[in-house]
Amino acid sequence: MTKKLSPDLILKARPANDSKGRPRQQTLIRDKEAPGLVLRVTGQGKKALIYQRRIKGGPLFHKTVVAELQAADLADIGKGNAILAEARATAARFNNWITDGKDPAQEEAREAAEQARQQAEQAKAEQEAEAASKHTLRALLALYCDHLTRQGKYRSAAAARSAFKCHVPAHLAELPAREITRSQVAEIVRRVMEAGKQRQAGVVRAYIHAAFEVALTAESDASAAAAFIAFQIESNPARGIKAIPVKPGNRVLTAAELAAYLEHLDDKHRIDRLLKLALLAGGQRLEMLMRATGADYDPEARQLLLWDHKGKRTTPRAHLLPLADNAAALVAAEVTGPQDFIFKSPKGGRIDTGTPGKRAKEISEAMTGESFDLRDIRRTCETHLAKIGVTQDIRAQLLSHGISGVQARHYDRHGYEKEKRAALERWEIYLLTGLVTPAEVVKLADRRKTT
């Protein structure tokens, strides 16, 4: 039976009866408009739109266009819904294939495979876009700062965060880290250089280089967080950027200036006491003192055990300080418990790494003359230690300099405790009684009254 299918026909269609007046198992009504499109009505009255047509020189091709017209479909058809139009369009597509001598089943399989491929590519592109939005240069640099913190390099972590925040422009920070180029890193460094900050430019370059290097080797480095691997870094764009030579500092406080600095340190304030201990202990690094806990101090031996994380050490090096009288008394007064930091913040945690430097800057501004910072104080201490006769070898042991070489690494196990204690005892006497003459003290006092 061939008729033009319409919504009304589909709704009213019933199964035809056989010769005995019983409903046939199925009745097929072929569409005049779209060859091959058939309305199938079962003996139970169920309806479906199917496609049936013989391929030239081949078998009968059968395809269910709409598996079964549900009540909702029939209601929509009655309203002139597009189901019938879509079925005719599908039939037309099958007809075109058959006309071209193609097997609709094979063509549909190809179309399905192509659609699956396109969907997979789209899903991959969406995943890569999502990953790129998460794994930006900003995210990589932040993860590197966390990496430094986990290693106990708190000062370096703080310095890196500050450098990245101040000097990595937003238009580069939001790019995927794996797409950052050497010229873009050079752009970052050049901007800092052109601002007249040569030392900071070298710092920025070094930290960016280190961040990419950790990510590049993370897959084979168990000490690096697994999160680095997700950045898929395949090269280090900072490798081609020349290291920037840093002009060494040469600011050394005179004896009178050192006496004035010491006089500005008020024992009523915790940060001032920390700075005073660093000075009395020969110019120790502040970050090492801030990491020290009550368990690191032996009151009987008057020894403070510090841990040096500086450089590329995978494990910190023990640095034992046998303190002289004033330094020992200062530490003993600060200790509150074995797990507590000796010098702690008002909330009981670790003091912010930038706080001592800010206080040193305040004192520098309060004093007349050339400005100075904590690096200058450390340099000043070593210079004056040499002045009072402490040898270079003992100064290296006392200040935990980069002690290297086969002899130092493998053979020299002498702790130098006696030599370091003698040097610190001599140093305290020099600081407290030998820095300035009475006339110079009067000059310093008069100078402060006028400032």
Predicted confidence band of residue 122 (pLDDT cuts 50, 70, 90): confident
Q: Where are the domains of the chain?
A: 2-102, 137-231, 255-449
* Tens of pLDDT, residues 19-54: 888 888 889 999 998 898 999 999 888 989 988 887
In CATH terms, 255-449 corresponds, of 3.40.50.720, 3.40.50.261, 1.20.1050.10, 1.10.443.10, to 1.10.443.10
**Burial per residue of 230-256, b for 16 or more beta-carbon CB atoms within 10 angstroms, e otherwise:** bbebeebbbeebeebeeeeeeebbebb
Contact 124, 134 (CB under 8 A): no
Contact 147, 214 (CB under 8 A): yes
- HSE toward the beta carbon, residue 263, CA cutoff 13 A: 15
pLDDT, residue 408, reads 43
pLDDT, residue 447, reads 45
Q: Is the predicted pLDDT of residue 440 greater than 60, yes or no?
A: no
Q: Is the predicted pLDDT of residue 102 greater than 90, yes or no?
A: no
Q: How many CB atoms lie within 10 A of CB 148?
A: 22
Predicted confidence band of residue 305 (pLDDT cuts 50, 70, 90): very high
Question: Strand 297-298's sheet: what is its strand order?
Answer: 297-298, 303-308, 317-322
Question: Strand 47-54's sheet: what is its strand order?
Answer: 2-3, 26-31, 37-42, 47-54, 60-66
DSSP-based helix, strand, coil % in the chain, nearest 5: 55, 10, 35
Please report, rounded to a whole number, the percentage of residues in the chain having pLDDT higher than 70. Answer: 89
pLDDT, residue 128, reads 66
Distances (CA, A) of 414 to 44, 300, 394, 419, 424: 101, 21, 12, 10, 18
> In the CATH scheme, what is the code of domain 137-231?
1.10.150
One-character DSSP codes across 157-223:
HHHHHHHHHHHS-HHHHTSBGGG--HHHHHHHHHHHHHTT-HHHHHHHHHHHHHHHHHHHTGGG-TT
Average pLDDT of the residues in 282-294 = 93
pLDDT, residue 246, reads 60
Q: Is the predicted pLDDT of residue 360 greater than 60, yes or no?
A: yes
* Tens of pLDDT, residues 123-162: 887 676 666 678 999 999 999 999 999 888 888 898 899 9
Q: Is the dihedral of CA 369, 374, 380, 385 positive or negative?
A: positive
**Burial per residue of 8-33, b for 16 or more beta-carbon CB atoms within 10 angstroms, e otherwise:** eebeebebeeeeeeebeeebebbbee
Q: Mean pLDDT over all residues of the chain?
A: 86
β-pair type (2-3, 26-31): parallel
Task: Provide the angle, in degrees to the nearest 10, between the axes of the packed helices 355-366 and 270-280.
Answer: 80
Q: Is the predicted pLDDT of residue 107 greater than 90, yes or no?
A: no
Q: CATH topology for 2-102?
A: Double Stranded RNA Binding Domain (3.30.160)
The token duo for 391 is 């040898």
Please report, rounded to a whole number, the percentage of residues in the chain having pLDDT higher than 90. Answer: 51
Average pLDDT of the residues in 304-326 = 83
Q: Is 445 exposed, middle or buried (0-12, 13-18, 19+ CB in 10 A)?
A: exposed
Q: Is the predicted pLDDT of residue 442 greater than 80, yes or no?
A: no
pLDDT, residue 57, reads 67
Q: Is the predicted pLDDT of residue 221 greater than 50, yes or no?
A: yes
Q: Which of 109-113, 404-408, 428-432 is least confident?
A: 404-408
Contact 254, 356 (CB under 8 A): no
pLDDT, residue 341, reads 95
The token duo for 130 is 């999502």
- 255-449 shares the fold of 2-102: no
The greatest distance separating any two alpha carbons of the chain, rounded to the nearest whole angstrom, comes to 137
β-pair type (47-54, 37-42): antiparallel
C-alpha to C-alpha distance for 423 and 333, rounded to whole angstroms: 23
What value, to the nearest 5°, has the Cα angle with vertex 408 and ends 407 and 412?
80
pLDDT, residue 404, reads 47
pLDDT, residue 247, reads 64
C-alpha to C-alpha distance for 116 and 114, rounded to whole angstroms: 5
Q: Is the predicted pLDDT of residue 217 greater than 80, yes or no?
A: yes
The token duo for 198 is 């040569």
Question: pTM to 2 decimals?
Answer: 0.54
Per the listing, tokens 């300080």 go with 321
Q: Which of 124-133, 349-358, 423-432 is least confident?
A: 124-133
Q: Which of 246-260, 274-288, 409-423 is least confident?
A: 409-423
pLDDT, residue 124, reads 82
Q: Is the predicted pLDDT of residue 6 greater than 70, yes or no?
A: yes
